[in-house]
Amino acid sequence: MSRRTPTRPAPCPCGHPLPYEKCCGRLHRGEAAAANPEELMRSRYSAFARRDEAYLLRTWHPRTRPPRVEFDPAMRWTGLAIEETADGTAFHATGTVTFRARYTDGGRPDSLHERSRFERVDGAWVYVDGDFID
Protein backbone atom coordinates (compact mmCIF):
# COMPACT_ATOMS: atom_id res chain seq x y z
CA MET A 1 0.00 0.00 0.00
CA SER A 2 1.56 3.28 -1.04
CA ARG A 3 0.71 6.66 0.36
CA ARG A 4 0.39 9.57 -1.95
CA THR A 5 1.69 12.86 -0.77
CA PRO A 6 -0.71 15.62 -1.74
CA THR A 7 0.86 17.96 -4.23
CA ARG A 8 1.02 21.60 -3.36
CA PRO A 9 -0.10 24.03 -6.02
CA ALA A 10 2.76 25.92 -7.63
CA PRO A 11 3.27 29.46 -6.38
CA CYS A 12 1.89 32.29 -8.48
CA PRO A 13 4.10 33.41 -11.40
CA CYS A 14 4.18 36.93 -9.87
CA GLY A 15 6.52 35.71 -7.13
CA HIS A 16 4.12 35.60 -4.17
CA PRO A 17 4.02 32.22 -2.42
CA LEU A 18 0.24 31.93 -2.76
CA PRO A 19 -1.04 29.59 -5.45
CA TYR A 20 -2.08 31.28 -8.70
CA GLU A 21 -5.79 30.61 -8.05
CA LYS A 22 -5.69 32.61 -4.78
CA CYS A 23 -3.25 35.28 -5.98
CA CYS A 24 -3.38 36.67 -9.52
CA GLY A 25 -5.97 34.16 -10.68
CA ARG A 26 -8.73 35.95 -8.77
CA LEU A 27 -7.87 39.19 -10.61
CA HIS A 28 -7.66 37.44 -13.98
CA ARG A 29 -11.10 35.89 -13.40
CA GLY A 30 -12.56 39.29 -12.45
CA GLU A 31 -13.33 38.25 -8.85
CA ALA A 32 -11.21 41.12 -7.47
CA ALA A 33 -9.56 44.30 -8.69
CA ALA A 34 -5.96 45.32 -8.08
CA ALA A 35 -5.73 47.44 -4.93
CA ASN A 36 -2.65 49.34 -6.12
CA PRO A 37 -0.24 49.61 -9.05
CA GLU A 38 2.13 46.96 -7.67
CA GLU A 39 -0.65 44.40 -7.43
CA LEU A 40 -1.73 45.28 -10.97
CA MET A 41 1.88 45.00 -12.19
CA ARG A 42 2.22 41.56 -10.61
CA SER A 43 -1.08 40.39 -12.09
CA ARG A 44 -0.10 41.67 -15.54
CA TYR A 45 3.24 39.86 -15.32
CA SER A 46 1.33 36.66 -14.47
CA ALA A 47 -1.00 37.34 -17.40
CA PHE A 48 2.01 37.56 -19.72
CA ALA A 49 3.40 34.34 -18.23
CA ARG A 50 0.03 32.62 -18.76
CA ARG A 51 -0.66 34.36 -22.11
CA ASP A 52 -3.93 35.89 -20.93
CA GLU A 53 -4.53 38.48 -23.64
CA ALA A 54 -8.03 39.41 -22.44
CA TYR A 55 -6.79 40.42 -18.99
CA LEU A 56 -3.86 42.40 -20.39
CA LEU A 57 -6.13 44.36 -22.72
CA ARG A 58 -8.74 44.91 -19.98
CA THR A 59 -6.10 46.40 -17.65
CA TRP A 60 -4.45 48.63 -20.28
CA HIS A 61 -5.35 52.32 -20.39
CA PRO A 62 -7.75 52.98 -23.31
CA ARG A 63 -5.46 55.81 -24.49
CA THR A 64 -2.46 53.50 -24.99
CA ARG A 65 -4.05 50.05 -25.41
CA PRO A 66 -2.95 48.14 -28.53
CA PRO A 67 -5.55 46.31 -30.61
CA ARG A 68 -4.09 42.96 -29.53
CA VAL A 69 -1.20 41.39 -27.64
CA GLU A 70 1.23 39.25 -29.62
CA PHE A 71 2.92 36.49 -27.62
CA ASP A 72 6.28 35.18 -28.80
CA PRO A 73 6.09 31.36 -28.60
CA ALA A 74 9.86 31.17 -27.87
CA MET A 75 9.58 33.47 -24.83
CA ARG A 76 9.06 32.12 -21.29
CA TRP A 77 8.70 34.46 -18.30
CA THR A 78 10.79 33.13 -15.41
CA GLY A 79 10.67 35.66 -12.56
CA LEU A 80 9.65 39.11 -11.37
CA ALA A 81 11.42 41.48 -8.98
CA ILE A 82 9.73 44.72 -7.89
CA GLU A 83 12.44 47.31 -7.27
CA GLU A 84 10.49 50.42 -6.36
CA THR A 85 6.95 51.79 -6.14
CA ALA A 86 5.88 55.42 -5.94
CA ASP A 87 2.47 56.89 -5.17
CA GLY A 88 -0.40 54.56 -6.05
CA THR A 89 -2.14 54.62 -2.67
CA ALA A 90 -5.84 55.18 -2.08
CA PHE A 91 -5.03 58.91 -2.06
CA HIS A 92 -3.37 58.95 -5.51
CA ALA A 93 -4.70 58.89 -9.07
CA THR A 94 -1.33 57.79 -10.51
CA GLY A 95 1.56 55.58 -9.51
CA THR A 96 4.74 53.99 -10.81
CA VAL A 97 6.36 50.59 -10.41
CA THR A 98 9.96 49.85 -11.33
CA PHE A 99 10.56 46.17 -11.94
CA ARG A 100 12.81 43.63 -13.58
CA ALA A 101 11.12 40.73 -15.34
CA ARG A 102 13.31 37.75 -16.21
CA TYR A 103 12.61 35.58 -19.22
CA THR A 104 14.18 33.17 -21.65
CA ASP A 105 13.94 33.69 -25.39
CA GLY A 106 14.63 30.51 -27.28
CA GLY A 107 16.34 29.23 -24.13
CA ARG A 108 18.61 32.28 -23.75
CA PRO A 109 18.10 34.15 -20.44
CA ASP A 110 17.46 37.89 -20.49
CA SER A 111 15.45 40.49 -18.59
CA LEU A 112 13.20 43.48 -19.10
CA HIS A 113 13.83 46.46 -16.79
CA GLU A 114 11.04 49.03 -16.82
CA ARG A 115 9.47 51.89 -14.90
CA SER A 116 5.74 51.55 -15.56
CA ARG A 117 3.11 54.23 -15.15
CA PHE A 118 -0.39 53.51 -13.88
CA GLU A 119 -3.55 55.60 -13.57
CA ARG A 120 -7.00 55.12 -12.16
CA VAL A 121 -9.79 54.96 -14.73
CA ASP A 122 -13.30 54.82 -13.28
CA GLY A 123 -11.75 53.80 -9.94
CA ALA A 124 -9.68 50.89 -11.33
CA TRP A 125 -5.90 50.85 -11.76
CA VAL A 126 -4.72 50.43 -15.35
CA TYR A 127 -1.33 50.28 -17.05
CA VAL A 128 -0.54 53.41 -19.11
CA ASP A 129 3.00 52.92 -20.44
CA GLY A 130 6.57 52.52 -19.34
CA ASP A 131 10.16 53.53 -19.89
CA PHE A 132 12.84 50.88 -20.44
CA ILE A 133 15.84 51.13 -18.14
CA ASP A 134 19.37 49.97 -19.10
Q: 50: buried, middle or exposed (CB in 10 Å: 19+, 13-18, 0-12)?
A: middle
Q: What is the pLDDT of residue 4?
A: 67
pLDDT for 97: 98
Buried b (16+ CB within 10 A) or exposed e, 67-98: eebeeeeeeebeebeeeebeebeeeeeebbbb
Residue 52, pLDDT score = 98
pLDDT, residue 98, reads 98
d(CA 129, CA 19): 28
Q: Mind listing the pLDDT tens digit for each residue in 28-59?
A: 999 999 999 999 999 999 999 999 999 999 99
Angle at 108 between CA 81 and CA 42, to 5 degrees: 25
pLDDT in tens, 55-112: 999 999 999 999 999 999 999 999 999 999 999 998 999 999 999 999 999 999 999 9
Q: Are 41 and 49 in contact (CB under 8 A)?
A: no
Does the pLDDT of residue 23 top 90, yes or no?
Answer: yes
HEC readout, 11-54: ECCCCCCCEHHHCHHHHHCCCCCCCCHHHHHHHHHHHHHHCCHH
pLDDT of residue 2: 55
pLDDT of res. 69? 97
